[in-house]
A and B are shown apart, each in its own frame.
Chain A
Amino acid sequence: GAGVSQSPSNKVTEKGKDVELRCDPISGHTALYWYRQSLGQGLEFLIYFQGNSAPDKSGLPSDRFSAERTGGSVSTLTIQRTQQEDSAVYLCASSLAGGFFGPGTRLTVL
């Protein structure tokens, strides 16, 4: 596809369950970012991958959050033992210089 894609578009889960969110970046983009956005709020940085460099994990809110990027392409954000405060829209972006965002995954933890 031409843009960044994310799946699922919506995810409803029960507190305590693990979830995986997927991001397919634009082909050839070396940088990939994960952000989350709570309703009516700004974007909170989570993690950033740049080529083969070690990822910048400084934004991950707890050790329940992890992300990987396989083969420099697809990325998966995993949230273990979800909590209600994890409910948000999770946005992925990829770039060469700027950032083009995917449509996001709306996560609701009941």
Chain B
Amino acid sequence: AQKITQTQPGMFVQEKEAVTLDCTYDTSDQSYGLFWYKQPSSGEMIFLIYQGSYDEQNATEGRYSLNFQKARKSANLVISASQLGDSAMYFCAMRELNAGGTSYGKLTFGQGTILTVHP
């Protein structure tokens, strides 16, 4: 089964509007972390926001917020007031405990969503 599912291959949004990028995950761990990254056409991977599984409040970083719904295993990224520079590929990722349960293991990524912001 896919660990991280991003069901939207592409999304379009008008400049200055908000957009939600979907992410669902699959884990049996109680402790895990969820991440969103932005990859513009330049190719760099830019860390945007992090949500821990025990965090009771949704994470926010400037115009980015993470809509964390633990029971539904979803961690959608909300970008408010979209800007042309937000056009990029966006990846959702999860970090679970390793097999021994003693530390966190690798980051597992979804397939990404291409966001295009129209003027």
Assembly CA distance A84 to B113 (angstroms): 27
Task: Please count how many residues in chain A sit with their CB below 8 Å of the partner chain's CB atoms.
Answer: 22
B44 beta carbon closer than 8 Å to chain A: yes
Interface of A is mostly: strand
Assembly CA distance A59 to B106 (angstroms): 10
Q: Do residues A43 and B109 form an inter-chain contact, with CB atoms below 8 A?
A: yes
Which chain B positions have C-beta within 8 A of A43?
Answer: 45, 91, 109
B103 beta carbon closer than 8 Å to chain A: yes
The minimal Cβ–Cβ distance linking A10 to chain B, given in whole angstroms, is 11
Residues of A bordering B, CB below 8 Å: 31, 33, 35, 42-43, 45, 48, 50-51, 53, 56, 59, 89, 91, 93, 97-101, 103-104
Residues of B bordering A, CB below 8 Å: 33, 35, 37, 43-47, 50, 91, 93, 95, 98, 103-112
